[in-house]
A and B are shown apart, each in its own frame.
Chain A
């Protein structure tokens, strides 16, 4: 490809790409994102290629390997354009039929359509599926419209037009003003106003400045940054180049977890393509502005998602946070002014530049503008990545988009913000989700993980899980976080074993208060949230464990016993074989099985297997 030397040339190239594309030509867009990869989509992709070849359809059908459209629960996913037919749970064996029926004859294959488990209704188009209908997919929408390894695809949907606009029509200060006016806040968790961050980095003294993209997403259950980086890496670069121009930085870093190989590959390819086209490098689009991006892989330390730890790691040092009394915008990477933003934040930038702050401003709430991507996981029917305008209520996300709780169980709480987020109970389901509201109820936005729990979840056990995660993942530098988490974990473990003391709740609260008030970084400062919110909203569960040695949710092994409810047991014997300790004895058909308590290790396998609800737990 020829290096572009002006915005006009970029537009010319875009035009020629669009003109070359035959919009009426069928295109099978198959997700090859990480979720669908686990469903075996690589084989499906190859099967499509073979099938197309077999039918000599190479010139008549396009096959596009795309990023993640978000509905990972239902993978493998594909969309057939131009009609926009949405097939889910596609398997290898469906491939020939999709070609022969849908592509060649235009027939819809009913069984591959999404059926709403709540209403039984079938949907042909992605946009009509309830999971998608309530979403506002500003950032994720392009994921299944482009091949992330093709810069042409990105250009075809208007890519880098924002960059061209910024470089040719806007002064750096104007860009910063636009971002400030848009109200964009950092999507990495802190929610710091992006424009203000850019401004202070721009105004900081120093010839050399850096911009950094934080893709060290480490929260259990969160994968929105991963999906953006895998599915649309150019959109992130687009934002970064604009940011670098506004700030006056000529070098940028993308810091990605080593565990995200596809994200590393795709952004590396994207950088190379952008360099070849002259969208990165010297004199970008003839503007005189030069910018380069390097990729740096993180070694898998959760704490490296913290900005100062990330910068230490980038420098080749141990990833440990430092105090931020002198901001990283003044002294960051290599002690030089540095602006660090999260993947999702960067991906928002081109949209704001192109459509304007006023447009962005209209989306969201008073204090939180735009959309937010959440990874909706746990005990909901529809799990996946959802992008909604700020201010949508938890209830809408969990029920309208998530389809409600699995298996007809009762909702208990939703945990937002990753391991150091908090649990939000049912009575707060109508809470509008934005930065400030989540903080107000004791949780936080965090990276946007949303873990839904049901009535079978023990809140003390959940708090224990997250504190356990954090005590291992904390860097260990500062005393309250390192020692405090260790002590909290001991106390929580005691409580789940029925050995809690009356004073333990108050002690947990005291440790938590100190953790919050005195920790060195935000990881420690928020680490007590799971404990504090579960005590705040589910104190009765703590008390049941401590005072009555009872786990109301029937989870804590030391406190529960499984038993066979004779009246309900049909003696089918389905539970006998799976029992790992052979604690269940088959008697005869229509006679209840016998459970030997001495052998039972309380794994719950029989409880999960029994369809007759004949296994009781107390």
Chain B
């Protein structure tokens, strides 16, 4: 049994197991903290900074990333203090300036009271990718393929396939597509082919012996089959017909 710790979030006295993060405890208790780069199945990353909260300890207060900060006994957390909100708004302005015209971000900004960024319109970018790294981390941590990575530094940072060429380790599972918060990774199934343009890859899809539908990339099925040591004919039929 893990030790239970006492803490306060937004005035509510809570108890939670040690080693949990502030974000986990908040969400377990129905307290909403906005996030963009967080997914509970992945290691927390701390890049979008939207989940910042203000903590007080020994009369000192500071902002911490709630997705990374492990709770402590007696911790006092404010998720909506003036300091948090002011900073979160500026973060949203900066994000909006990067992703001008991207609906998810615009909606999120509006919810926080940011209509448009204070920067000059001619400088606004229309980048759909917010560099949250969810795709890269899902590919590495969940799928185990590491077909993508974040490349370059600073303002030149981007998600890319190796050497900006075909992502040769990609199995076409589409995890990156599903997890992307702005839906900027484009996947298309047409006939017996799956295409993910962003990574310059095409996959032949497997046809179900029973219903005749194409249901998954052959490379992905082979990857799963080998990993789980399944019989050769295991994926001859699709999950629906099994």
Contact = CB atoms under 8 A, between A and B. Distances in A.
Interface residues of A, number: 38
Contacts of B130: 479
B118 interface: yes
B68 A511 contact: no
A312 interface: no
B27 interface: no
A486 to B, nearest CB: 5
Nearest to B118: A507
Contact of A471 (B98, B118, B131, B155): B155
A517 B88 CA distance: 11
B46 A476 contact: no
Given A487-B94, A503-B118, A325 B155 contact: no
Contacts of A478: 46-49
Contacts, number: 108
Contacts of B94: 479-480, 483-484, 487, 511, 514
Contacts of B70: 325-326
B119 A490 contact: yes
A325 B156 contact: no
Contacts of A125: none
Interface string A447-484: 00000000000000000000000111111111110111
Interface in B106-146: 118-120, 123, 130-131, 133
B90 A514 contact: yes
B95 A474 contact: no
Contact of A518 (B91, B98, B118, B123): B91
Interface in A318-349: 318, 322-323, 325-326
B64 interface: yes
B154 interface: yes
B157 interface: yes
A473 B60 CA distance: 32
Interface string A272-308: 0000000000000000000000000000010100000
Given A318-B150, A473-B153, A490-B120, A479 B48 contact: yes
A99 interface: no
A482 B125 CA distance: 14
Contacts of A483: 94-95, 97-98
B87 interface: yes
Nearest to A507: B118
Interface in A201-224: none
Contact of A511 (B64, B90, B157): B90
A518 B48 contact: no
A520 B119 CA distance: 23
A405 to B, nearest CB: 34
A471 B52 CA distance: 22
A473 B118 CA distance: 25
Nearest to B64: A325
A494 interface: yes
B155 A472 contact: yes
Interface in A578-613: none
Nearest to A514: B90
A378 to B, nearest CB: 25
A186 B102 CA distance: 45
Contacts of B46: 322-323, 478, 520
Interface residues of B, number: 35
Contact of B154 (A325, A471, A518): A471
Given A479-B48, A479-B49, A517-B83, A472 B123 contact: no
Interface string A511-526: 1011001111000000
A518 B97 contact: no
B153 A475 contact: yes
A520 B47 contact: yes
A568 interface: no
Contacts of A326: 70
Given A323-B68, A477-B47, A520-B49, A486 B91 contact: no
A472 B154 contact: yes
Contacts of B97: 483, 487
Contact of A472 (B98, B131, B153): B153
Contacts of B69: 323, 325
A366 interface: no
A3 interface: no
A484 B98 CA distance: 10
Task: Name, among B49, B65, B68, the residue most crowded by chain A CB atoms within 10 Å (CB to CB).
Answer: B49
A477 B49 CA distance: 10
A325 B19 CA distance: 12
A476 B120 CA distance: 22
A326 B86 CA distance: 27
Nearest to A325: B69
A520 B130 CA distance: 16
A361 B49 CA distance: 41
Chain A CB within 10 Å, residue with most, of B65, B87, B97 = B87
27 contacts: A303-B153, A318-B150, A322-B46, A323-B69, A325-B64, A325-B69, A326-B70, A472-B156, A473-B153, A477-B131, A478-B46, A480-B91, A480-B94, A482-B131, A482-B154, A483-B97, A483-B98, A490-B119, A490-B120, A510-B118, A513-B87, A513-B90, A514-B90, A514-B91, A517-B87, A519-B49, A520-B46
Given A482-B157, A518-B49, 20 more contacts: A318-B150, A323-B65, A323-B68, A325-B69, A474-B154, A475-B154, A476-B131, A476-B153, A477-B131, A477-B133, A478-B47, A478-B48, A479-B91, A482-B131, A483-B95, A487-B119, A514-B86, A514-B87, A517-B63, A520-B46
Interface of A: 301, 303, 318, 322-323, 325-326, 470-480, 482-487, 490-491, 494, 501, 503, 507, 510-511, 513-514, 517-520
A-B CB proximity, top 8 nearest? A476-B157, A483-B94, A514-B90, A474-B154, A323-B68, A476-B154, A518-B49, A486-B155
